[in-house]
Amino acid sequence: MTKLETTKTALVLIDVQKESEFGIKGIEEAVDNTKELIVQCRKLGIPVIYTRQINREDRIGLSNGEPLTDEGKPIFYNNGTDAADIVDKIKPGKQDIVIDKYRWSSFYDTSLDLMLKSMGIKHLIIGGFVTDGCLMTTVFDAYFRDYQVNLVKDICGATNEGAHISSILIMANWIYDLAIYDTAEMLNRLSGEPYNCWQSDYPDQLQFTPENMRQIFDKLNIKSF
């Protein structure tokens, strides 16, 4: 039972934006949990990094097939509206870092890796929206860059339960040093208290099916430290 090494840890929040208030299952609870983590991380001097998905109103840099209105403007994360803004309840402070991105992964053509390396970060506490899109692609890209990821699953959200659960199980199966927490357990770890989290013993150990997904998912917080 040890505290995370705060000087080598950052909290990375993926696309907790006003656009995400539409269609994200459990968004209020996720935002409330995120706020608790932000408060604790700031107390400990852990950097807080926000990413924002941006779709330019003039359509420059849009992904292939990005949905458009009849007027030819992006439907989602339109930077001509407040949809691209971080949710007010957890809006960034002056000391925080905000990184805009134009593709799902927060590492793709952004300064995120540069910022993390310049601070000597090795461990990421991570969550955000959507679990099966920008969050999952960011987590895989973090792993490919040798960051150890601590996924807080109840600050994540997707448009439906199946997408949320299945994507977390995929990450658990294939990111070998991933640790999975709920907010309360991460707060315990940050405080040096006993905590529960799940870590893989070997690749592809969960062997989930459509019939047992919820049952397997419920086992992701059973190990004590």
Evaluate if residue 224 carries a pLDDT over 70.
Answer: no
pLDDT, position 188: 95
200-220 residue pLDDT tens = 889 999 999 999 999 999 999
pLDDT, position 221: 84
Residue positions counted in the chain: 225
pLDDT, position 99: 98
Could you tell me the CA-to-CA distances from 192 to 102, 103, 198 in Å, in that order? 37, 36, 17
48-99 residue pLDDT tens = 999 999 999 999 999 999 999 999 999 999 999 999 999 999 999 999 999 9
Spatial distance between the Cα atoms of 80 and 99, rounded to a whole number of angstroms:
17
Evaluate if residue 1 carries a pLDDT over 70.
Answer: no
151-181 residue pLDDT tens = 999 999 999 999 999 999 999 999 999 999 9
Q: DSSP letter for 133, please.
A: I
Q: DSSP letter for 125, please.
A: E
Q: What is the largest CA-CA distance in the chain?
A: 56
Name the average pLDDT for the chain. 94
If phi > 0 it is left, if psi is from -120 to 50 it is alpha, else beta; for residue 126 that is: beta
Spatial distance between the Cα atoms of 11 and 51, rounded to a whole number of angstroms:
11
Tokens in use for 190? 């940050």
